[in-house]
Structure 1
Amino acid sequence: MTLSKPIALIAFSIISVPTYASAHDDQCSVVAASVADAGFEGDVTVTCTDSHAILTSDTYPDHDLMTGIIGTNEQVPVPAEYAAPIILTPTQGTTPLTRDAALGVAVNGVPIYDYTGGGEMSEADLAHHQAQHDTLQTNQLDVCGGHAGRGDDYHYHAKPTCMIEQMQNAGDAAIIGWAFDGFPIYSDANPDGTAIADGALDVCNGQPDEVFGYRYHTSPDSPYIVQCLMGEVPDFDALPRVRPLSAATGGGAQPGRPPQGGVDDLVFTQNDDGSRSMDYTYEGDPYFIRYAPAETEGCYAFTTQTVTNKGEVMTGEFCR
């Protein structure tokens, strides 16, 4: 979706930048270094074309998942092959871009969405906090800033705190992700460690940068993370989406619906054999979603008892 009115950027102070960001003449190397320096080169493959750096991963991070969620949508994280294209020659635009899918990718290969559950906001939505759609305030996110979306795909809607704790180069100078317009994403402070001045971040949660031209930030308050893209994206409508699960016999998997009032005691268990289980209670009754790898590659055998399906035990094989 393209918005009609340009939104001006705010003036900034010149800052120091991380040393690996100075190799601006080879942006592919910069993107690859951001992954390698963070210690995720074993989880994310970086390849480059003439126009893009492609970050390929299974979107399934090696950190705690789903802990702390109350407003569950009754979806679980399932690995999903994902190739995130990052423009190598970013150009700042004048009109913010939004979509109901990822706006970028973290250096561990997990997609980054805006803070809302629906995405693709209007100009008025961008200017005003949408509390009813805020995934953090409605308790839909885990303690790591992410959750499983409608496609049973794990992604971040807020600062990826657990990933940052894992980063070998963790610190204000570290790039924590890349937006699809080619501009980097940093954490809550300027790369030189100074605090970001009140009002310095624009509507997309970004500000000018002396090396890249522009950069995004996470923030303690809404919008918490990249809210829209301020760079030009010629192939915006063709940006990737995680392929949802579909039944092995054909047809899509029905997305869950958040149980009214939320659930209690949600626990997500991961076993060495690849099986997973999300167990929780709702109004005193137990519910669960469990799956294990099936014989067919990319497929999983599910057994579920959910509020969405009114407590009926259901089984099936689902594939990406």
Structure 2
Amino acid sequence: MKNSLLTICFVLLSIPLFAHEGGHGTPLKQWELATNHEIVNANFIKLQHDDVYLLDAHHAVQVYKISDFTVADQNYIKAKSVSIQALNNHHTASESQKVFNSSWWLLVLGLFLLGFSVYKLIKQKKAMHFTYGILGVTIIAIVSCKNTNNTTTSTLQVPSHAVSVMQSFFEKFEGVTTHADSTYLYISSNGLPNHDMMVGISNWQQQVPIHQNYTGPNSWAIPIHPKMAEEPLSTKTNLLKGAIAVAVNGIPIFNPLNNRGEDANAIGELDDWGGHCGRADDYHYHLPPLHLQDQVGQGNPVAYAVDGFPVYGETTESLDEYLGKTNPDGSYQYHTIKEYPYFIAGMRGEVQLDPKTKAPENQVYPQPRTQELRPALRPLRGAEIIDFKSLGENAYQLTYRLEGKEYVINYSWDSTGNYTYQFINPDGTATVETYKAKEK
């Protein structure tokens, strides 16, 4: 009996030693560099940030930028990277299950030996029966140590963004430029979209869109290495000030709730494109601009949240409580729905809050600054904006209807920061206001 039990223990303890994954090398892939059409023969290792790691015939690691390759090879690299991440995740889960199964049987055996030892000691009171108990305790201790060593954190490791891919979406739009450092992708624009604006607003605070200086150190910043937050911020009780995302056309997107906690869309504050102007005459969206899918293409993001995660259109897939989902490679993305909260129900990624602000009117830091040009005005009750058009470079005309009559505002600015506003009444009379932008 003793020899049989020892044999069983030896076999069970040895099982993990035979779990070995082998394989044969694959033929070297041929790559063409887009910069000089050089041919490189090497196997793909990984894509990390914007760097591509290859292993050549001499087992030397070669590192290139993803932008060095042809478009076809770039697509291959991205697809290969995603499949490897998914395979690794599946492999890790499978190995964890194997460890759990073997640990369970070893634990049962250890408890059996311990119980058998106690039983024999009570019945026969021979010292030799201590052997079974010692062996059982040893097995239980080994299983406990193994489970401790194989414990994994439940926090998802989020892959970093390929900067060149992010840039390709923003730079589809004229006037939008980008640059990056090791932490952020910076988006620069003049704050004016290349589509119509303002038409459809029926709850209007008499602001009109002018250009903004979202350039240089005042650019929008999107994290390149996003991280999952331990305590995501609900956008219902946070972030009513400042942008929560930046559209791929360089226009900021604010919380669907205005700073009074009202659904800006439901109360008529937004135009037909989901935007309006703030107190600084700064145009911004409060809804995700799904109309931009025509330019970026279906299946591509229309914006990036300020926590670093992309924002996509509608989907039939299940979403979490923050209106997002985790992909097989560990990446995370938000999606849009038709009703409030529309998108980003909670800021799933880590963000830094501006210490000068408090919930619910807090905001993510860093945020570009806007500068108020005209005094803040009150809503013009009953007014509805019915037309908006360009009159030339830096010149626009807005038409609104009030009590059945049409009013017109012609406004423009020059390169020195002089702004002129002409207010035309239905009877043809007009008044003019001028403003000078403050030098920064």
The two structures share one fold, judged by TM-score above 0.5: yes
**Higher relative contact order at CA 8 Å, sep ≥6: structure 1 or structure 2?**
1
Q: 1:26, CA displacement in angstroms?
A: 5.4
Q: 3-state SS of the aligned residue for 2:175?
A: coil
Q: Is the 8 A contact 2:304 2:311 kept in 1?
A: yes
1:269 is aligned to: 389
Does the CA-based 8 Å contact 1:84-1:105 persist in structure 2? yes
SS in 1 for 2:392: coil
After TM superposition, where is structure 1 displaced by more than 6 Å over at least 4 residues in a row? Answer: 18-21
Amino acid at match of 1:95: E
Give the AA of the match of 1:104: A
Equivalent residues in 2 for 1:89-100, closer than 5 Å? 89-97=225-233, 98-99=238-239, 100=241
Secondary structure of 1:103's counterpart equals strand
Give the Cα separation in 1 of the matches to 2:264 and 2:77: 34
Aligned to 2:309: 183
Q: Per the alignment, in what secondary structure is the counterpart of residue 137 of structure 1?
A: coil
- What displacement does 1:243 show? 0.9
**Count of equivalent residues:** 265
- Residues 385 and 398, structure 2, Cα contact 8 Å, conserved in 1: no
Q: How does 1:1-320 map to 2 (within 5 A)?
A: 27-36=162-171, 39-40=172-173, 42-82=174-214, 83-97=219-233, 98-99=238-239, 100-118=241-259, 133-165=262-294, 167=295, 169-171=296-298, 173-189=299-315, 195-197=316-318, 200-202=319-321, 204-211=322-329, 213-234=331-352, 236=354, 237-246=364-373, 253-260=374-381, 262-264=382-384, 266-296=386-416, 298-304=417-423, 313-319=431-437
CA contact (8 A) 2:394 2:412 kept: yes
Call closer, same or farther: CA 1:63–1:30 in 2, change over 3 Å.
same
How far, CA to CA, are the matches of 1:20 and 1:31 in structure 2?
Answer: 15
> Which structure: larger Rg?
2
RMSD between superposed Cα atoms in Å: 2.7
DSSP 3-state at the match of 1:240: coil
1:273–1:32: structure 2 CA closer, same or farther, 3 Å change rule?
closer
Distance 2:76 2:369 in 1: 33
Q: 1:254 to 1:227 in 2, by over 3 A?
A: farther
Residue in 2 aligned with 1:13? none
Question: Residues 95 and 303 of structure 1: is their aligned pair in 2 closer, same or farther, counting only changes over 3 Å?
Answer: farther
Cα distance, 1:259 vs structure 2: 2.2
Distance 1:20 1:29, change over 3 A: farther
The SS at the match of 1:271 is strand
What percentage of residue pairs aligned between the two structures are identical? 27
Deviation at 1:19, TM superposition (A): 7.7
Which shows bigger deviation, 78-87 or 270-279? Answer: 270-279
Contact 1:114 1:228 in 2 (8 A): no
Q: What code does the residue aligned with 2:190 have? A: D
TM-score normalised over the length of structure 1: 0.74
Q: Is the 8 A contact 2:422 2:430 kept in 1?
A: no
Please report the TM-score for the alignment, with normalisation by the length of structure 2.
0.55
What residue identity is the alignment partner of 2:221?
P
